[in-house]
Structure 1
Amino acid sequence: MAKTANRQPQQLQLSLEGIAILTGLSPEARERLQKRCTWRRCRPGDPIVSYLDASDDVFFIVEGEVRVTIYSVAGRAVSFRSLGPGEVFGEYPAIDGGPRSASVEAARSSLIASIPAAAFQELLQTEPKVAQALLPQLVTKIRALTTRVYEFSTLAVNNRIQAELLRLASLGTRQGKAAQIVPAPTHVEIASRVSTHREAVTRELNRLSRIGIIERKRGALLVKDVDRLAEMVHEATGE
């Protein structure tokens, strides 16, 4: 397992209160769990877990953002998703005993709490509300991966880029027909998400800008007409 600084962060409230799957815990149970956690502050780019390693800790994102990626032998990054505050990762090996399904690294300065697989399994057994909260999250991940497999198998590159922008817009701040994606993803990041190269992303984003769908604005990417972008994706997918 990749090493990052694991000293107890100073002058920070080490709380799991914002973790979505733990909202059903009593304050006393949450405090007990917090005391069992290892806490670490990760800098942007710090590795947290590595693809196929045998570690089995489960991680809670208290602050910041992490990126889930697999690197090819040639070093090409294939990004699956980004995760933010309140989310959990690393639960697959704790559930099935298998190796890591992807690498995870910090995308921004992040505060991460972790517990061993045995402690996570005990939590699921003794706190049914946590297990009930985890199940919908696992289903959501499966649905998202199914959609991406479908897109990779059937859509042209420009349509995959459009679909990724629509996903990002759905997570952004909505203002009428527009949505703001902050921070703006780089062309390389989008390319790694849709299995293409940076030049193809640049061409499509320039085209979408010319026809008034998107606009770069002060470090953000503004999708000026989310409904129109959705129609373009619908035409390509039939969904």
Structure 2
Amino acid sequence: MAKPAKNLFDPKSFLAEVGVGKSISKLSKGQNVFAQGDVADAVFYIQEGKIKLTVVSDQGKEAVVGILEPGQFFGEGCLNGHPLRIATTTAMEDSTITRISKKAMIAALESKPKFSHLFMAYLLARNSRIEEDLIDQLFNSSEKRLARLLLLLANFGKEGSPQPIGVNISQETLADMIGATRSRVSFFMNKFRKLGFISYNGKIEVHSSLLNAVLRDKSEIDRED
């Protein structure tokens, strides 16, 4: 006699449903999820849209430190004892996010192994990205940092074909993310377009030739004009 099928737990369905300690919000472009200095009492998961992370120094200088996409968490610092938010998170386009209270998040991690594995995979991937970003800042030119950022935003390296960058990102934001001036980013973007690495069709489209140039030891990216 066949055994009855077990009730399989689906982490993605769990995150898409309202429940104890969980709520779902729809954000308009430009709306903050939380601000730097707010009380850190929940973790968030992006179902749709893109979220920008910015920090402001004591001197009032603002910097963009990340752009998060569907399938990513943010605000997890509350699980590590951070009482206050260290960054501001803002919707770059209309977005849907799940809010999980700190208590509900800890309970899910302790009782649902599949959810724990999903969250652990996210943390490992994010840690690797931070390490890569640090190496990028230390050893690569601002031009190569911009090229790498464009490739990441266009999802090169993930399964499936790269897509046009699905959100309008200003040159000021790109400059903040690579530690360069807007004028330098404008110069590099024009250069990439002339070389056929990118094109504009309402949004920035990144071509595979940019990846090939980055991978070559002596690429057009380092060529002096």
What TM-score, normalized by structure 2, do the two folds share? 0.79
Separation in 2 of the partners of 1:31 and 1:207?
42
- Quote how far apart the aligned CAs of 1:229 are: 3.0
User: Structure 1 CA distance, aligned partners of 2:45 and 2:182?
Assistant: 32
Q: 1:209 matched to which residue of 2?
A: 193
Please say if residues 173 and 181 of structure 1, whose CA atoms lie closer than 8 Å, have aligned partners that are also in contact. Answer: no
Indicate yes or no: 2:176 matched with 1:192: yes
Q: Which structure 2 residues correspond to residues 81-120 of structure 1 after superposition, within 5 A?
A: 81-93=66-78, 95-98=79-82, 99-120=84-105
Matches within 5 A, 1:66-81: 66-81=51-66
5+ long unaligned stretches in structure 2: 1-8
Q: What letter corresponds to residue 87 of structure 1 in structure 2?
A: Q
- 1:170, 1:221 → 2: CA distance? 11
Alpha carbons of 1:218 and 1:122: their partners in 2 closer, same or farther (altered >3 Å)? same
Paired residues of 2:15 and 2:45 also in contact (CA < 8 A):
no
Q: What aligned pairs does 1:31-180 form with structure 2 within 5 A after superposition?
A: 34-36=18-20, 37-93=22-78, 95-98=79-82, 99-171=84-156, 180=164
User: Structure 1 residue 88: deviation in Å?
Assistant: 1.9
Alpha-carbon distance, 1:224 to partner: 5.3
Could you say which residue in structure 1 is the equivalent of 2:10?
23
Secondary structure class of the residue paired with 2:24: strand
Q: Measure how far apart 1:133 and its partner are.
A: 1.5
Question: How far off is 1:72 after superposition?
Answer: 3.0
The Cα of 1:222 is off from its aligned counterpart by: 3.4
Give the 3 Å change call, closer, same or farther, for CA 211–86 of structure 1 in structure 2: closer
Question: How far did residue 161 of structure 1 move?
Answer: 1.1
Q: Note the alpha carbon deviations across 1:9-46, whole angstroms, 9 max, x for none.
A: xxxxxxxxxxxxx8347x7xx39962222332221111
Q: CA deviation at 1:226?
A: 3.7
Q: Is the 8 A contact 1:183 1:221 kept in 2?
A: no
Assess if the C-alpha contact under 8 Å between 1:215 and 1:224 holds in 2: no
Which residue of structure 2 lines up, in the alignment, with residue 12 of structure 1? none
Q: Which amino acid aligns with 1:48?
A: V
Q: Cα 1:234–1:41, aligned 2, differ >3 Å: closer, same or farther?
A: farther
* Pair 184,49 (structure 1): closer, same or farther in 2 beyond 3 Å: closer
Partner amino acid for 2:203?
G
Aligned to 1:193, what secondary structure does the other structure show? helix
Return closer, same or farther for 1:83/1:23 CA change in 2, 3 Å cut-off.
farther
**Superposed displacement of residue 194, structure 1:** 0.6
Tell me the alpha carbon deviations over residues 119-153 of structure 1, each in whole angstroms, 9 at most, x when there is no partner.
Answer: 11011111121112211210111111111111212
Distance 1:23 1:164 in 2: 32
Q: What is the root-mean-square deviation of aligned Cα atoms in Å?
A: 3.1
Tell me, yes or no, if structure 1 residue 230 matches structure 2 residue 217: no
* Farther-moved stretch of structure 1 (50-59 vs 72-81): 72-81
User: How far apart in 1 are the matches of 2:121 and 2:179?
Assistant: 27
Question: 1:157 Cα deviation (Å)?
Answer: 1.5
Contact 1:44 1:108 in 2 (8 A): yes
Structure 1: gaps (5+ residues): 1-21
